[in-house]
Structure formats: structure tokens, C-alpha cells
Amino acid sequence: MSHIAAPVLSALPADWRNALLLGRVDLGDGPTPILVSRGEVFDMSRVAPTVSALVAGGTFDTAAGQSLGTLESLDLSAAVDAPARLLSPIDLQCVKAAGVTFAVSAIERVIEERARGDASKAVEVRGRLEARIGGSVRSVVPGSAEAAALKEALIEDGMWSQYLEVAIGPDAEIFTKSPTLSTVGWGGPIGIRSDSTWNNPEPEVVLLVDADGAIVGATLGNDVNLRDFEGRSALLLSKAKDNNASCSIGPFIRLFDDGFSLDDVRASDVTLKIEGEDGYVLDGHSSMREISRDPTDLVTQAMSEHHYPDGFVLFLGTLFAPTKDRDEPGRGFTHKMGDVVTISNPRLGARDWPSVRRCPASMRAHR
């Protein structure tokens, strides 16, 4: 019987004893970068003070670190006052995200746009759009001649959208999800703006990229989204995406090695489960096999001519778009306080958020 707390054990990759994991813990002296190899935890702070600096070093040699014992004996927890608190696995990296990278998400974004952020209009708009453009969007390669021809046809039909431009055009949507050092780690509650009435989690694979643009590992993430805000105007994207506790990743970065590579990411399925205090349960999934752009293309577009001296993480998008009604028929899904959200993949582990909380939409700085 393992001594590690059951929730933490269940959050690890199924083959965690054979995985090389990168993370951060607070043992009482502040955030510490760690490596987990063959189940043993190594304090790497004598090599580099931050995860970003450790990644910049280019090698992950546990012999240069200090053993903290086995992962079981460390008894990791998400509690703020825990002796060994598991933190978000990144620190100084920029937090970037790719949007509309799956056909389903492209159609849902157009639905939000045409419904003007009103959930009650989504069912009618969804049926009309799916029948007209669903198959076409799924069948073309972004940036191809066929995609350009489809664009012209949809413009003539009055069905074109800014979201379809980034779905099938040459340029992917790449945006900044949240500020550096703002991500929530394993077990931390996620936040929803108090004035949002139509919102959802977005289960995604997240890549860790170094300053040279090399992909060094992957993890899981929740790109919490406010559909009512973005639906009213794409210019409200920052309010729809960047809010207190709206970006969660972890529990660890799984580094690429002989047993885990980018091809495993390309073939991965991410599952999601939402359990509400009202008895509502929603199960969903997102398959990376259905992504419209290869992860390397998205990383190249994110990097572009920009420079990220501390590297960055990149959310790859999701095909998950919840439409199962929660309250009134036709209004689909939205979060409620106390929802438990679990995102998982056998090779990356599980992201478990114990609750959804409301965050004040605004606060006065002065009286």
C-alpha cells in the first residue's frame, strides 16, 4: 500500500515510475524545482533556482540534484499550509494558447458570435451552422488551396467568420492566456468571473517549450473560458480568458525521453468529468488525433519572430464543447460554484480541481 495520499497518487501518470517528471514544490523555504525519476524525487535548486532556468540548461541530470526520497514518502498536498505543497509546474515561462484548432471548436466559436453571447440562442444557431459548414470545415487542411476556395464560397453565402479565418486560414490563433506566475497547480480551485453566466472548462494538452523553440515535454491544462464574453465580441477575449485562477496546469510536466515523445502527444486522448453539487454530471473528451494543425506548426507560429528568454507553455486547444443542458432546455452548460472538474490522460496524469469559485468581476482600488 502506497503511503502517498490517494488523490495525489491518482493524479500521476499510469506509468509514473518509468516517467521523468518536472515540477515545483514548496517544502517550507519557497518554490523548489524538482525532478522525479523512477519514483525518486530530486531537489534541483542547486543546479537552477527556477524551472525555467533548469529547462534552459538543456539537461535533466538527477545526479546533480539532492534526493528528497521517494515520491510516496514525500506526501505531497495541494493545501497551502502543507509541509510538502505541490505547486504549478512552471514559473517564469510565458503562458500562450492556441485557439480554434479543432473543427468543433471553430463551429462553437461561430455559434457564440452569431448568438451574441446569448446561450438561449445557441441551439438554433448550432443546427443551422453544423448543417451548412460542419463537414466542410472538418475536411480541409488549414492554409491550403482548398481552404481558400471554401473561404470564398462561405463569403458569398454570408457564412464567413473571423473564427473560420483562424480555423482554416494560414495563420493560427495564438494568444496570451494569463500572466507569468499566475497558473494554478494541482488541486487548486479554478475561478469564474462573478458576472459570467455562460462558461466552461477547456481540457487541453499543454506543451513546454524552451527559449530556442524546442518542445521538451507536455502536461495537462484547463483553459477556462467565458463564452458569454467572447460571444459578444472577440475583442473581449482577454476578459473571457484571463481571470483570477482561470488557468490551471499540471500536476507535472512529463519530459520527453525514450519512453514518451511528441508522437505520444499527437495520439493522446484527454478526458474530462464535471460533477456538480446539484447532481449534474458531464463527461467529455478531446482527441489530439482530430487537431487541424500539427503541434510543431502551432509552436512555430507561437514562437515566430518573438523571443521568450524563459521559454513558454502552449495550450493546444480542445474539441470539447459542452452542449448538454444543465438547467433550462436549450441553454447548454455553464459552471456553478462547487463544481469538481477532473481532466486526465494515462500518460500525463490527472488535473483535479476540487471546486469552482466565483471571483469578483471588479474591485475599487481607492475609496
Q: What is the pLDDT of residues 21-71, one digit of tens each?
A: 999 999 999 999 999 999 999 999 999 999 999 999 988 999 999 999 998
**C-alpha–C-alpha distance, residues 179 and 183, integer Å:** 8
Flag whether pLDDT at 353 surpasses 80: no
CA atoms within 13 A on the CB side of 159: 19
Alpha helices in 76-195 (DSSP H): 103-114, 122-129, 135-139, 145-156, 162-168
Flag whether pLDDT at 4 surpasses 50: no
Running DSSP on this structure, what letter comes out for residue 341?
A: E
- Read off the pLDDT of residues 251-294 as tens digits, 9 standing for 90 and up: 999 999 999 999 999 999 999 999 999 999 999 999 999 999 99
How many other CB atoms sit within 10 Å of the CB of residue 236? 15
Flag whether pLDDT at 5 surpasses 60: no
- Read off the pLDDT of residues 70-80 as tens digits, 9 standing for 90 and up: 988 888 888 88
pTM for this entry: 0.90
**C-alpha–C-alpha distance, residues 246 and 224, integer Å:** 5
Flag whether pLDDT at 364 surpasses 70: no
The grid coordinates of residue 220 equal 495537462
Burial class (CB in 10 A: 0-12, 13-18, 19+), 158: exposed
Q: Tell me the average pLDDT across 323-333.
A: 84
Q: Tell me the average pLDDT across 209-238.
A: 94
Give the CATH H-level superfamily of domain 94-102+172-359.
Fumarylacetoacetase-like, C-terminal domain (3.90.850.10)
> Would you call the peptide bond into 49 cis, given omega within 30 degrees of 0 as the criterion?
no
Q: What is the pLDDT of residue 18?
A: 95
The grid coordinates of residue 190 equal 479554478
**C-alpha–C-alpha distance, residues 77 and 25, integer Å:** 9
Percent of the chain with pLDDT over 90: 61
- Read off the pLDDT of residues 230-240 as tens digits, 9 standing for 90 and up: 989 989 999 99
**C-alpha–C-alpha distance, residues 181 and 92, integer Å:** 6
Rg (CA), the chain: 21
Burial class (CB in 10 A: 0-12, 13-18, 19+), 101: buried
Number of helices (H) and strands (E) in the chain: give both, helices first.
12, 19
**C-alpha–C-alpha distance, residues 159 and 141, integer Å:** 19
Q: Where are the domains of the chain?
A: 6-86, 94-102+172-359, 103-168
- Read off the pLDDT of residues 96-152 as tens digits, 9 standing for 90 and up: 999 999 887 788 888 888 888 888 888 778 777 777 766 677 778 899 998 898 889
Q: At a CB cut-off of 8 Å and minimum separation 6, what does 40 contact?
A: 62, 67, 69, 70, 71
Q: Which residue type sits at 212? A: D
Instruction: Report the mean per-residue pLDDT for the chain.
Output: 89
Q: What is the pLDDT of residue 240?
A: 95
Flag whether pLDDT at 196 surpasses 50: yes
Angle CA 52–255–7, to nearest 5: 95
How much of the chain is helix, strand and coil, in % rounded to 5?
A: 30, 30, 40
Q: What is the pLDDT of residue 7?
A: 62
More confident residue, 159 or 4: 159
Q: What confidence category does residue 156 fall into, taking pLDDT thresholds of 50, 70 and 90?
A: confident
